[in-house]
Amino acid sequence: MTGLWKFTSIEGKEVRLLTLFVLHSLNEKPRSGYDLLKLISERTGGGWTPSKGTLYPLLKQLDEEGLIKVSSIGKRSKIIYDITPDGKKLLFTIRKVNKESEEKFSKFRALFLEMFAEEETVLKDLTFKIQEIVGKIPPEKEEETVRVLEECISNLKNIE
């Protein structure tokens, strides 16, 4: 198993979490380095934002590797990046190896809970398990899943 913040594609290419997030974000839509920094900060609730000295060299490296490309240069020389077909291929092959990623995250989560969790660990653990299960439900079962979760929410509100 590689490091906790590293993921391996089917071809064996090792990718760090930040690289994976950049590819994922650019797959959604083209963005500038500043947009990526802002997005990471938003998605982590302000808990983590990589430094410019980390992100911008990474963008340059990904561009040189042909995984992303400069799609346009905007006002004040703002560089907008987009994912390339090779970048999409790498992103999707890493997603195929999702089982390993889930196991890594579970190990990290267990370590984190051991260090920081308090009495509510059982509730947090059950909530996490629900998220894991929901993530594996096929799209054709979405309507039934929504119904079950809404019923669960209603029952929980009755406890308050």
Handedness of CA 97, 102, 103, 105 (dihedral sign): positive
Q: What is the pLDDT of residue 1?
A: 38
Q: What is the pLDDT of residue 144?
A: 93
Q: Name which of 22, 16, 30, 114 is nearest 74 in CA terms.
A: 30
Q: What is the pLDDT of residue 101?
A: 64
Provide the pairing of β-strand 31-32 with 79-83: antiparallel
Q: What is the pLDDT of residue 118?
A: 59
pTM of the model: 0.64
Domain borders along the chain are 6-96, 98-159
Q: Where are the beta strands (DSSP E) in 34-146?
A: 68-73, 79-83
How distant, in Å, are the alpha carbons of 42, 80, 147 from that of 3? 25, 30, 38
**Weakly modelled stretches of the chain, pLDDT under 70:** 1-14, 97-104, 110, 117-121
- Domain 6-96, CATH number (from 1.10.10.10, 3.50.50.60, 3.40.50.970, 1.20.1300.10): 1.10.10.10
Q: What is the pLDDT of residue 2?
A: 45
What is the rounded distance in angstroms from the CA atom of residue 31 to the CA atom of residue 38?
A: 10
Q: What is the pLDDT of residue 15?
A: 75
